Structure 1
């Protein structure tokens, strides 16, 4: 088992952005007090990109190359399995379009000594999209909330930790014991919703979740691009609500399926009226596949977002 000071694993998922992933690995390598091991899981890249990742993954970083795009869930599961087999006590999932400073990461680790039965903790997520900046503190139940992310304004209780319905997968630190009891991310989601599902299962087993208001991470939302957000990102976000309902809201399934179908049709109509045809197609496909129970990758070859 790794020594205590190195008893943390960090997982990055690469999907055709080797330069960004390498920069993320390098930032962790510059930390002075914490020395986590890094697992880079490659869901896909060009031959040159894969080669550069192999070259970069030396010393504290290990390269895991998957034959196909396994999505956010499958890619992270590969890293989680490797970290569990290696005996790490804490496992962090960090998006390559997100950054957390060493001091904030160290602050976040304190949650595991202060919150009883804690499965996972996340910092406040400061999201930057051009000149706009928003701060989020976890999320609401994805079976009922259209805008699931909880906006943090600094008001309310002075308590250091908040306990939302689910945490955001942008930056997430987890306890290995929770993975062993709760199980891996559900790969039927492929992308989006799998962390909310895992949090739901963790809470059902008596684990706690926490957002640490004293720690912050930064997420560059602009890296996704408008095309992705109106296409595959939207598709998975909407379709996977049906999956979450089928898994966790069985008694209200008929009502909730009808509600989200109406929402999808309404959003598709709005998109058509403004000429956003890619968005309309995503909404209609999400409702169709959600009702039919078609899960996994939207595209047969897995050509879809491979990171969180």
Structure 2
């Protein structure tokens, strides 16, 4: 996909068409996931990283011929998978990378508008590294776009995803985001040993600390489900995950809380959420002991600095 440039300054780089590619990460994909990737590949150059452990299934044979299919043979985690996909797009000469989960089904509006928004913003802010849509989780927010996040003094600021202008933000989730690959090597890849949770948060914080910008694009929406079926407590919906995922959630939260470069506003928010999550797991999820014990193990490993995949501890 090429985005034609209009008149304006792109820091001496606007006189060429920008090449945009997509990275999709598979993990035991179902037919819908494969169909989504095939539909995506009809509209944009697509790289699929397959984190599925070796099985009798050959997902590559069911993908469009134009897809770059790179099986890992094991679950390397979302960070490593996205890093591999971005590295491939860089080899192909791409200037921007759209990042997707396997169940993402982006429409043409997102595929067109995010690169266009990046191009437009670059005229005014030549150090923009990432733009992303407002995501909608019907189960948690009732169809209302989730606000963008800024790190305020001692607390997180929620910026409503409204209006016709890009919104300066401090954090964007990886799924559906558009990365400016000109700055990928300066910022560095995603942190592999975080494996899954808060991978995007760590990268965003690092990008901001190195002087780059992030923008939420409020007029672009993407449907995205956080975790499994939500747990409802006193009328409020909370995302739930597997016990193993809760291990990573708590481990990585603790690991980031202990780092000096992570904003205190995010740390304080997580410190409030963690005991609430533990109570919810103990009372509402089954098997209770499994969820709680994995969360506690994650806290212990986070304090010890044990990262990487769980089975390699």
Fold match by TM threshold 0.5: yes
How far apart are 1:267 and its partner, in Å?
Answer: 4.0
Q: How many residues align?
A: 282
Aligned to 1:73: 79
Aligned to 2:299: 287
Aligned to 1:52: 59
Does residue 244 in structure 1 map to residue 251 in structure 2?
no
Does residue 179 in structure 1 map to residue 191 in structure 2?
no
TM-aligned CA distance change 1:118 to 1:9, over 3 Å? same
Of the candidates 162, 168, 173, which is equivalent to residue 173 of structure 2? 168
Question: Contact conserved, 2:164 with 2:219, CA < 8 A, in 1?
Answer: no
TM-aligned CA distance change 1:52 to 1:97, over 3 Å? closer
Of the candidates 193, 218, 221, which is equivalent to residue 216 of structure 1? 221
Aligned to 2:49: 41
The 3-state SS of whatever aligns with 1:110 is: helix
How far apart are 1:221 and its partner, in Å?
Answer: 4.2
Structure 1 segments unaligned to the other structure (5+ residues): 302-308
How far apart are 1:295 and its partner, in Å?
Answer: 0.9
Question: Contact conserved, 1:17 with 1:45, CA < 8 A, in 2?
Answer: no
Distance 1:85 1:198 in 2: 21
The 3-state SS of whatever aligns with 1:7 is: strand
Of the candidates 192, 199, 209, which is equivalent to residue 197 of structure 2? 192
TM-score, length of structure 1 as denominator length: 0.79
TM-score, length of structure 2 as denominator length: 0.77
Structure 2 segments unaligned to the other structure (5+ residues): 4-15, 231-238
TM-aligned CA distance change 1:203 to 1:112, over 3 Å? same
Question: Contact conserved, 2:41 with 2:64, CA < 8 A, in 1?
Answer: no
How far apart are 1:213 and its partner, in Å?
Answer: 0.8
